[in-house]
Structure 1
C-alpha cells in the first residue's frame, strides 16, 4: 500500500512542473444589431506535454463564450515543450472593457530567477477610438515557448511588436505589485528596452540554465485620443498612457558555450529567400501563403524548424537547411493581422542551438480566392498583365509583366526557371518556338522566328 501511495505522489509532482509560457491577443469581430460585440481572443499555452491544460478566468464585462475552446497543437519540440493555440469567442454587452487572467503552477524545473507559480493578465479595451472611429485592438505578437543561447554569445532578440491601429507598442517587465505575474522577478542575464528588444551579454557557467521571462506588451496612441465609453462619456488617453496590455511569457535557456558565436558557424544563419524580420506579408482569405525559410550552419547539424503562429499552418522540411510554412487563412480571418515567429534549430555535441528569432506579420486581405499559393521568399515582379499588340499585321509583344514565385535559385537553376517561364508564355498564346535568354541584369529577352 505504501508503494502505491509513493508512486501516486511522484506522478502528481511530475505533472505540476510543466509551464513554458503564454501569449494572448484579441480582435473585435462583429457588432451585433442589439449593441453586443463578438470578440476573438487568440492565445498560446505552452507546457512540457501536449495534454497539459489551464483556463483563463474573466472579470468585468465578460459576457459569455459562444462555444467551448479547443486547444490545437501549433508546434512541439519533442521531450521539451508543446505549444497549443486556443481561439475564444466572447459575446459581450457593448464595448466595456474586461480582464482575462491565467493562474497556476508550476513553471518548469530549475528556473534560475526563482519563479514557481505563473500568472498572466490581459486587459481587453474595446472602446471606440476618436482617431479612427474603430474599436480598439490589441498589439499583435507571438513567441516560441523557449529560446536558446550559448552562455558565451551576445545576442539581441527583437520581439515582434505590431499594432493594427498604428499605435506605438512598448514592452516592460511585469510588475508584482500590479499582480501581473507571481512574482515578476526578471532574469538577471537579460536587459529589456521599451521597443521590445532583449539583450543578452556573455556570462559564466554558473548562470547557465532556464529563466522565466514575463513581459507585458502595451499599445500607446501616437497622439492624444478619446475613448468613447458605453455610458457616453469620454476618457482621454495621452501618448504616455497605455490603452491595453497583453502578456508575453516564455523561457530563456542559457546553454554551454560554443567555439564560435559567428552566425553560420555553430549558430544557424538565415539565408535568402527567408523573409526579413518584422516583414509584412499579404494574402487573401482562402488562399495559401507559403513562407520559404533557409539557413546554414557549417559546424553544426541543422535538424529542424520551430515556429509559433496559427495552429493550422503546415511545416515542411525540404532538406539542406530549407523549410517552408504554409497557411491558408479562413474567411472569418479576413481583415485581421496574424503573427508568425520561427527559429532554425541545430545540434552540436548533443547541445541544441537556435538561430536568431525571426517574425513576420501576415495581413489577411480582401481579394478573390485562387488555388495558386502566394510564395514569400523571392523578389517578384508585378503581377501578370494583359499582352499589348500592334495591328494590323504580325503581332508583337510590347510589354509583359510577370510575377515569378519560386524557391529555386536563379544562379543554380536558371534553365529550369526559363523553361517554366516559356511554358507559361506558350500557355498565354505565344508560339511554341519562342526562345528565352537571361541577361545579367535579371531581365529576360524573348524572341521567336514565327511570322
Structure 2
C-alpha cells in the first residue's frame, strides 16, 4: 500500500481533469506464501495519457494497467491489477490527487480514502474481501427526466452492503450533489430540475460491508476485535461525475433516451462461463428520434466491445486467472445523438463469473444417446458409482439427460448462440433449477444443460 501512497503524493501537484475512482480488493484461499490478495484500482481522467501518468508516470509498458473504455474527448478509464499477499492487518490511506473537472458543487482537489481489513475472520477462517462494483466515469441525464441509478454491488463473503456519501476526512470538501439522493441500498435518484441546475456534479460515495452476524477478527499478532452487525469491515471509494444536461424533447424511453431491447440481459442478471471460455453478451437498444452511436462500459479487465450496426453491440469477456470464482460487475450505457445533443440510456449492470471446473481422471460409467426433437442425437453421461459395498455414493455432478423444448426465435445459433443459451438459462432458473447451472453447446443446433454437484 505504501507504494501507492508515494505515487499519489509524487504527482499530486499535476494538473489534470479527474473523473473519479473505484477501488476494490479480493482475497483468495491460503497458499504456501499466504493469502493471495488482488487489487482492482481503476482511475478515470479526461484522457488515457493522464491515466498513464497517474499509474506509472506515463510509461505503463510491462505493467498490469489495462484500458477499460474511453469516450473520446471526454474521459478514459484504466485499471491497475495489483497482486500480493495479505498480512492479517488493517490499512487506511487518505490520498490526494489532481483537480476534478469543473463542477457545480465546487469541489477542486480530488481525494479519497482506502480502508481495508485483512485480519482473519472467524466466520470464514480467512481474511475477507471488499465489496465489488464499478461504474462508468460520466453518467448523464436531461434536466427534465426522472432517473434512478442503481449500483450493482456484490460481496464475496456474503456480507451486508451499504452505501453513503463520503465525509471528512475521506475527502477534503465533501459537498454531495444537491440534485441526487442516495439510499443505503446504493441507489441514486434524480428528479426533474430547472435549467439553473444543469452541469456536472462530483459524486463521492463509500461502499461498506457489514457482517451478518457477530464475528471476531484476529491480526498477525493474535490481537482480536469483535465486529457486530453494526460495524463496517472495509470501506471503499466510488467516485464519478454526474452531468445534468439540457432538457430533452421527450423523456419517453426509446425516443431520444435509448431503450434496451431483448436479448439485452436485465439489470442484476448473473451470467457465468467456464474459466477457459470467452463470454459474449448481446446488447441491443433503440432511439427512434436519435441515432444510437456507441456503448460505454466499465467492467473487468479483458472486456472488449464491438458494433454490428446502429443499436447492435457485442461485449466479449475473456477471464484471467484472478477472475475465477468472483462475481465481476460489468456496467454499460448506450448513447444516442440528436441535433448535437447526447442522450444516455439507463445504467445497466450484470454480474459475470468465471467458474473453474477441475478435471478428473475417473471416466464416466455409462454413455447414453437420446434423440431430440430435431432427430439429432445428444450424447450425455451419468456419474460413476462407487464399487465399494455400503459406500456413500459419489454425488458427482447432476445431469439433465434430455431437454424436450421448442424454441422460436429470430436469433441465429451460429451468431447468437451465447445469447440464446443465456435466455434458456434464465428460463430454467425461473422454472426452479439452481442459479449456477451451466449450459454447454453440443453442436451447432443443440444445447446441453448440467447442474452442479449438490
Q: What's the TM-score once normalised by structure 1's chain length?
A: 0.76
User: What are the ranges of 5 or more consecutive residues in structure 1 without an aligned counterpart?
Assistant: 1-13, 57-66, 370-384, 390-394, 429-451
- Pairwise CA distance, 1:263: 1.1
**CA distance in 2: counterparts of 1:182 and 1:416, whole angstroms:** 51
| Deviation by residue 1:285-317 (Cα, 9 ceiling, x = unmatched) | 121011111111111110000000123211011
Question: Would the aligned equivalents of 1:30 and 1:39 in 2 still touch at CA under 8 Å?
Answer: no
**CA distance in 2: counterparts of 1:121 and 1:166, whole angstroms:** 23
Residue of 270, 273, 277 corresponding to 1:287: 277
Question: Would the aligned equivalents of 1:286 and 1:331 in 2 still touch at CA under 8 Å?
Answer: no
Question: Would the aligned equivalents of 1:284 and 1:368 in 2 still touch at CA under 8 Å?
Answer: no
Partner of residue 445, structure 1 = none
- Pairwise CA distance, 1:227: 1.6
- Pairwise CA distance, 1:33: 3.4
Question: Would the aligned equivalents of 1:40 and 1:89 in 2 still touch at CA under 8 Å?
Answer: yes
Change (3 A) 1:400 1:172: same
Partner of residue 226, structure 1 = 216
Partner of residue 388, structure 1 = 370
Question: Would the aligned equivalents of 2:17 and 2:46 in 1 still touch at CA under 8 Å?
Answer: yes
SS class of match (1:86)? strand
Partner of residue 141, structure 2 = 149
Task: Show the 5 A alignment for 1:196-275.
Answer: 196-275=186-265
SS class of match (2:264)? coil
Change (3 A) 1:396 1:156: closer
- Pairwise CA distance, 1:266: 0.8
**CA distance in 1: counterparts of 2:99 and 2:208, whole angstroms:** 26
Task: Single out whichever of 225-234 and 71-80 deviates more from structure 2.
Answer: 225-234
Structure of greater Rg = 1
Change (3 A) 1:316 1:226: same
Change (3 A) 1:310 1:239: same
Change (3 A) 1:426 1:209: closer
Question: Would the aligned equivalents of 2:293 and 2:310 in 1 still touch at CA under 8 Å?
Answer: no
Partner of residue 356, structure 1 = 346
User: What are the ranges of 5 or more consecutive residues in structure 2 without an aligned counterpart?
Assistant: 1-12, 56-60, 360-366, 380-400, 421-440, 447-454
What is the root-mean-square deviation in Å for CA atoms of aligned residues? 3.3
Question: Would the aligned equivalents of 1:55 and 1:102 in 2 still touch at CA under 8 Å?
Answer: no
Residue of 45, 48, 52 corresponding to 2:46: 48
Residue of 155, 162, 165 corresponding to 2:157: 165
Count of residue correspondences? 375
SS class of match (2:88)? coil
| Deviation by residue 1:381-436 (Cα, 9 ceiling, x = unmatched) | xxxx95237xxxxx99997338999xxx8147699999x9xx977999xxxxxxxx
- Say whether 1:16 aligns with 2:27: no
- Pairwise CA distance, 1:37: 3.9
Task: Single out whichever of 233-242 and 246-255 deviates more from structure 2.
Answer: 233-242
SS class of match (2:126)? coil
Change (3 A) 1:417 1:404: farther
SS class of match (1:16)? coil
Question: Would the aligned equivalents of 2:143 and 2:198 in 1 still touch at CA under 8 Å?
Answer: yes
Partner of residue 130, structure 1 = 122
- Pairwise CA distance, 1:125: 1.0
Change (3 A) 1:235 1:355: same
SS class of match (2:308)? strand
**CA distance in 2: counterparts of 1:87 and 1:199, whole angstroms:** 31
Question: Would the aligned equivalents of 1:138 and 1:163 in 2 still touch at CA under 8 Å?
Answer: yes
Question: Would the aligned equivalents of 1:386 and 1:400 in 2 still touch at CA under 8 Å?
Answer: no
| Deviation by residue 1:254-277 (Cα, 9 ceiling, x = unmatched) | 001011111111101111111111
SS class of match (1:139)? coil
SS class of match (2:162)? strand
| Deviation by residue 1:130-182 (Cα, 9 ceiling, x = unmatched) | 22223200000001000010000011110111111111111000002xx1112
Partner of residue 409, structure 2 = 410
**CA distance in 2: counterparts of 1:414 and 1:286, whole angstroms:** 21
Partner of residue 108, structure 1 = 101
- Pairwise CA distance, 1:351: 1.2
Change (3 A) 1:334 1:151: same
Question: Would the aligned equivalents of 1:387 and 1:400 in 2 still touch at CA under 8 Å?
Answer: no
**CA distance in 2: counterparts of 1:204 and 1:242, whole angstroms:** 38
